[in-house]
Chains A and B, each alone.
Chain A
Amino acid sequence: MARRASFIKEEQNSQNPLFILDAGNSLAGTLISLESKGGVIVEGMNAMGYDALTLGRMEFSLGLETLKEIEESADFDLLSANVVEKGSQDPIFDPYVILERQGITVGTVGLSEADVNADSKIKEQIQVLDPMETAQRYVDELRDQVDVLIVLSHLGLDEDRALAEKVPGIDIIIGGNTRKLMREPERVGDTLIVQQGYRGEWIGHLKVDFDAQGNLVDGEIEAVALDDSYTDDADMVEILEKWKALHPSPTPRPTSTPDTSTD
């Protein structure tokens, strides 16, 4: 995360309007993220200037109460248009957010996968609506209000392709769940689809051109491997050290690996 922060800081000097998005399953997974109830990741993402995150299965595994607390502490939007309250069918989180940079407005709709309610406790509280119908509803609502329409999807690549085919009007689908490292954006109709690996080993750097009428012309992507060519960002290291002190890792047990030395 400290290397990602370095990379993002460099990009923040970009002349283009810059948006930083996460397609889900990012707030929880490792021990420290679970013990801190997502706190370490939220503070890190706040520092990096993320704009929005779609809620995936791993986020919902934290429980609705924790997610509502995270919503308060996050400087970015937690999105899910198709996860609604059981019974009332009211949205639990923001279905979308409209972001504006340099006069360009970007509508970002969040879609969660069908099995986010796998946990029995969550199952009693939420209902997952059909993502295609939900996307159509919000595309209809937003298309004339914004210059660019993005779906931040944790549905998986096949469903993202189906979404692009069935719901016209989406400019870009930024996906997740299937953890595909895409070296080129995939184009389905007028929609670009991208996603970028997993575990924070890469970050997608997508540049998209639009004509004067706001039509998507083309896009190019760089899958940036956050290897040791990037230095750790000092501010992020400080944040991580603080959380590691609060939630120290358990002492590793001695391994029983056979000694292969020649002595």
Chain B
Amino acid sequence: MILHRMARSECRTLPRDTLCLGFILVLLSGIGLAGCQPAAEATLPPATTVAESQTAAVQSDGNPSAPTVADSTTTPAAEDEEVPTEKKPFQLTILHTNDTYGEVDPCG
């Protein structure tokens, strides 16, 4: 659009045929360039992807003992979309000990 306005004002002060021909050429080349822009942009990585991977790296460096399981959550959920399954009530069994003080026998 800026290219278009500049060409129109020059057309008024110079010989009409030359300038108008030039104007048309400039206008056409401008349209052509504009048409190429989306293709050029498509070759760049999306900005959000870059930002996410940088954030993950910082967290990993700052927390060397972070469990592996936690690291796996950086995988985008959208990639492995699963059909949501209906949740049901459930029961857990937990066996637990504490303060066994390195006892090996006789009491358990």
Please say whether chains A and B are actual partners in one complex. Answer: yes
Report B-chain residues with C-beta under 8 Å of the C-beta of A200.
97, 100-101, 103, 107-108
Contact of B104 among A1, A92, A226 (CB under 8 A): A1
Tell me if A93 and B65 are in contact (CB < 8 A). yes
Per-position 1/0 for B78-101, Cβ under 8 A of A: 000000001111111111111111
Is A115 interfacial (CB 8 A cutoff)?
Answer: no
The CA-CA distance from A199 to B100 in the complex, in Å, is 4
Min CB distance B102 to A, Å, is 3
Per-position 1/0 for A17-54, Cβ under 8 A of B: 11111111111111011100010110010000000000
Is B67 interfacial (CB 8 A cutoff)?
Answer: yes
Tell me if B104 and A22 are in contact (CB < 8 A). no
The CA-CA distance from A155 to B26 in the complex, in Å, is 78
The CA-CA distance from A21 to B70 in the complex, in Å, is 19
Is B52 interfacial (CB 8 A cutoff)?
Answer: no
The CA-CA distance from A214 to B92 in the complex, in Å, is 12
Report B-chain residues with C-beta under 8 Å of the C-beta of A24.
98-99
Is A114 interfacial (CB 8 A cutoff)?
Answer: no
The CA-CA distance from A182 to B67 in the complex, in Å, is 31
Tell me if B98 and A199 are in contact (CB < 8 A). no
Is B6 interfacial (CB 8 A cutoff)?
Answer: no
Tell me if A210 and B67 are in contact (CB < 8 A). no
Is B73 interfacial (CB 8 A cutoff)?
Answer: yes
Min CB distance A28 to B, Å, is 5
Min CB distance A94 to B, Å, is 5
Instruction: Name A3's closest neighbour in chain B (CB-CB).
Output: B108
Tell me if B101 and A199 are in contact (CB < 8 A). yes
Report A-chain residues with C-beta under 8 Å of the C-beta of B70.
96, 98, 141
Instruction: Name B102's closest neighbour in chain A (CB-CB).
Output: A33
Given A30-B102, A32-B104, A203 contacting B91 (CB threshold 8 A): no
**Number of chain B residues whose Cβ lies closer than 8 Å to a Cβ of chain A:** 31
Given A176-B98, A199-B101, A95 contacting B67 (CB threshold 8 A): yes
The CA-CA distance from A208 to B96 in the complex, in Å, is 13
Is B58 interfacial (CB 8 A cutoff)?
Answer: no
Report B-chain residues with C-beta under 8 Å of the C-beta of A131.
none
Report B-chain residues with C-beta under 8 Å of the C-beta of A213.
87
A interface majority secondary structure: mixed
The CA-CA distance from A202 to B108 in the complex, in Å, is 7
Is A209 interfacial (CB 8 A cutoff)?
Answer: yes
Report A-chain residues with C-beta under 8 Å of the C-beta of B86.
212
Tell me if A204 and B93 are in contact (CB < 8 A). no
* 21 contacting pairs across A/B (C-beta < 8 A): A1-B103, A8-B95, A18-B94, A26-B97, A27-B102, A29-B100, A34-B102, A91-B63, A179-B99, A194-B96, A198-B98, A200-B101, A201-B107, A202-B108, A206-B95, A207-B91, A208-B91, A212-B89, A213-B87, A214-B87, A226-B108
Q: What 13 new A-B contacts, CB under 8 Å, besides A2-B105, A32-B104?
A: A22-B96, A28-B102, A33-B103, A38-B102, A58-B101, A94-B65, A203-B108, A204-B94, A204-B95, A206-B95, A210-B89, A212-B88, A217-B89
Counting from the closest, the 9 A-B pairs by CB-CB distance are: A33-B102, A29-B101, A176-B98, A226-B108, A23-B98, A200-B100, A198-B99, A29-B102, A200-B108
